[in-house]
């Protein structure tokens, strides 16, 4: 059974306060994009014919007990007494980019398990599994445009349609971890209402929608503001860092020829839905 776990972008990201548990309260818009991994799971009842996890594409170099796909499977296996399986992930969505690739993979594992074993999981059950795996996972449990608050796990669907717009995602050849990004961010109360701001035309977003991580990450990694500037130079209506990672995206009216613009970077162009 095969699926295609998709990435997401953040439209605006306000870091509001540091919490007593060490996390931060944020508000952001999650929007799904069609940049995808390829994920396959098959039954492996004896548990010895095939490896539990097989990876091609971008290498996932972490122990099995730290692998979020394996963690998602073990979570359901323990709860629902599932037999062994074999997972094959062809990794395309880059790491440390702020695109939610790992969270998406985990939630698509849950969806595939639900179908493969006819588990008939309800929304509440899926959300509880998502909360156990990570804050972004809750978004991928519905995979539609949402306003996210708290750690990112409190979500509310929003009426935001970017159908037909083009997007270019550019990730330079370095990663930014969540811990690194949050260690230097300065929480503050947002000046503008994000939910209201996204209802304006995309070309007006530059006036009121920002990502708080840009303030310090652009100073630390000067390649990032250069990428953002290039996206505007080739016609972006709006460009921003995505989440707390190293990917920068631009939203365009039309497809653009980007050959030679971003040497050494991972670059993906697609149409938004």
Which residues are catalytically annotated?
A: 8, 136
- Cα 253 vs. chain centroid, distance in angstroms? 23
172 burial type by CB count under 10 A (0-12 exposed, 13-18 middle, 19+ buried)? buried
Q: What are the structure tokens assigned to 55, written together?
A: 């990876």
In angstroms, what CA-CA distances link 60 with 84, 102, 109, 173, 184?
21, 10, 16, 16, 27
- Cα 122 vs. chain centroid, distance in angstroms? 23
- Residue-wise over 134-155: b if at least 16 C-beta within 10 A, else e? bbbbbbbbbbebbbbbbbbbeb
């Amino acid at each position: 059974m095969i699926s295609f776990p998709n990435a997401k972008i953040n439209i605006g990201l306000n870091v509001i306060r540091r919490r007593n548990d060490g996390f931060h309260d944020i508000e952001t818009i999650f929007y799904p994009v069609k940049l995808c991994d390829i994920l396959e799971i098959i039954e492996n009842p004896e548990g010895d014919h095939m490896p539990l996890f097989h990876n091609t594409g971008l290498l996932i170099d972490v122990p099995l007990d730290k692998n979020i796909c394996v963690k998602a499977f073990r979570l359901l296996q323990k709860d629902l007494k599932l037999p062994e399986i074999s997972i094959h992930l062809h990794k395309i969505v880059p790491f440390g980019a702020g695109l939610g690739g790992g969270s998406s993979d985990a939630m698509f594992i849950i969806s595939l398990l639900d179908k493969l074993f006819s588990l008939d999981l309800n929304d509440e059950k899926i959300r509880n599994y998502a909360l156990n795996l990570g804050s972004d996972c809750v978004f991928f449990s519905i995979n539609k445009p949402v306003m996210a608050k708290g750690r990112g796990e409190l979500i509310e669907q929003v009426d935001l349609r970017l159908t037909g717009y083009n997007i270019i995602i550019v990730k330079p050849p370095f990663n930014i971890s969540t811990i690194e990004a949050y260690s230097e961010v300065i929480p503050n109360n947002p000046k503008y209402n994000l939910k209201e701001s996204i209802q304006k035309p995309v070309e007006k977003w530059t006036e009121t929608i920002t990502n708080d991580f840009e303030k310090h990450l652009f100073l630390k990694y000067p390649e990032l503001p250069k990428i953002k500037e290039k996206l505007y130079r080739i016609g972006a209506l709006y460009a921003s860092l995505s989440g707390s990672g190293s990917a920068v995206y631009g939203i365009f009216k039309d497809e653009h020829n980007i050959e030679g613009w971003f040497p050494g970077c991972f670059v993906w162009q697609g149409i938004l839905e």
